[in-house]
Amino acid sequence: MSSRFFPARYENLVPYVYGEQPQNGGFIKLNTNESPFPPSPAVYEALSKGEVDNLRLYPSPESSRLLPLLSRELGVPENMLFAGNGSDEILALVFMAFFMDEKAVSYPDITYAFYPVYTSLYLQKAHVIPLKDDFSFDVDAAIAADSAVVVANPNAPTGIALPISEIARLAEALPDRLIVVDEAYCGFGAETAIPLLSSHDNILVVQTMSKARSLAGARLGYAVGSPQLIADLKAIKYSFNSYTVNRLTERVAVAALEDKAYYETNCATIRQNRAYTVEKLQKLGFRVLPSEANFVFATSPDISGKELYLGLKEKKILVRWFDKPRIRDYVRITIGTEEQMNALLKETAALIGKGE
């Protein structure tokens, strides 16, 4: 129950329910799309005694070591970049900066669960755009809704990606609406919308180091957009908290970004393990949506999503199950190492009576 100090405007606030994070180990964790690989070896080296000594100092409020590197990596000038405490924080700042006075914001019925949470926190109303029958994003419906759009690309939990020509079509049809493209899963196969930024000033791309760069625990996300959009985000950030990216996080993000080879190898391994997992799940009779992410969304005619989730949990394997219309029969499985995937496949086969 709330205190009597909590205002009525939060009556309908529905906080995000995060995936289970068991702290006692023993689980094969395929439920929150983390990387199965540790951060780059360069990250270990970066955490020197000198860096610890420096913790007495405030971090750079502008992440001035990181942004020049990101600028080179992404091929955009620094004034088009904004770093934050994970992309979740950046998305919250985006809602605060741009959507509070909007009548509504559009996003799909099945997408990242934080969008409805930010909506309930900041503006109350959304146009919930049903995904098409094949679970792809309905661009025409989003155009018809004529509001700002938040779209995860690839989408979560489906893994389905939209070609950037479709993002361009959306941005061109709604030139006075902001189109936020959440690319949390960049690196695993989908095209980035960053090349559209030079010709479309109403697109803002958000990426993260949590997934493909194995830094979920460090919390580092960034936005890429027009210098004006970035200036607006900074105005909101500096009205809230100047030091959102701490010293150690900036340091490890720099190290991770410098080790491009490690990143590319890990992304390639995940794509390979994904193809392997999809093939094996299909052999077990599953329908698997086409994924460009580090997870797959799958359903079996032989077992309900809930039974599969609970059955795997009993075997110490965590996957994500959403008790929601349209997707109740699916589970979302993070792609891990080949060994982890083999454990998942073996227990799954046993649960549906197809084990050896």
Ligand X SMILES: *Cc1c(COP(=O)(O)O)cnc(C)c1O
Interface residues toward ligand X, by CB under 6 A: 33, 86-88, 112, 152, 156, 182, 184, 208, 210, 216, 221
Are the C-beta atoms of 291 and 328 separated by less than 8 Å? Answer: no
Q: Count of residues for the chain?
A: 356
Residue 249 or 299: the one with the smaller Cβ distance to ligand X is: 249
Q: Concatenated DSSP letters for 157-190?
A: TT-----HHHHHHHHHH-TTS-EEEE-TTTTSSP
Minimum CB separation of residue 51 from ligand X in Å reads: 22
Q: Which residue has the tokens 């590197």?
A: 69
DSSP for residue 3: -
Which among 286, 293, 290, 291 has a CA at the least distance from the CA of 344?
A: 286
Minimum CB separation of residue 231 from ligand X in Å reads: 22
Are the C-beta atoms of 253 and 46 separated by less than 8 Å? Answer: no
Residue 280 or 295: the one with the smaller Cβ distance to ligand X is: 295
Which among 75, 70, 37 has a CA at the least distance from the CA of 263?
A: 37
Residue 112 or 286: the one with the smaller Cβ distance to ligand X is: 112
Residue 35 or 87: the one with the smaller Cβ distance to ligand X is: 87
Residue 86 or 305: the one with the smaller Cβ distance to ligand X is: 86
Residue 110 or 303: the one with the smaller Cβ distance to ligand X is: 110
Minimum CB separation of residue 156 from ligand X in Å reads: 4
Pair of tokens at residue 66: 């990181």
How many alpha carbons fall within 13 Å on the CB side of residue 11? 2
Minimum CB separation of residue 278 from ligand X in Å reads: 19
In whole angstroms, how far apart are CA 127 and each of 132, 158, 338? 15, 19, 40
Helix (H, G, I), strand (E, B) or coil at 337: coil
The CA dihedral of 170, 173, 178, 184, to the nearest 10 degrees, is 10
The residue number whose beta carbon is nearest to ligand X equals 86
Minimum CB separation of residue 137 from ligand X in Å reads: 13
Minimum CB separation of residue 234 from ligand X in Å reads: 19
Residue 145 or 152: the one with the smaller Cβ distance to ligand X is: 152
Minimum CB separation of residue 221 from ligand X in Å reads: 4
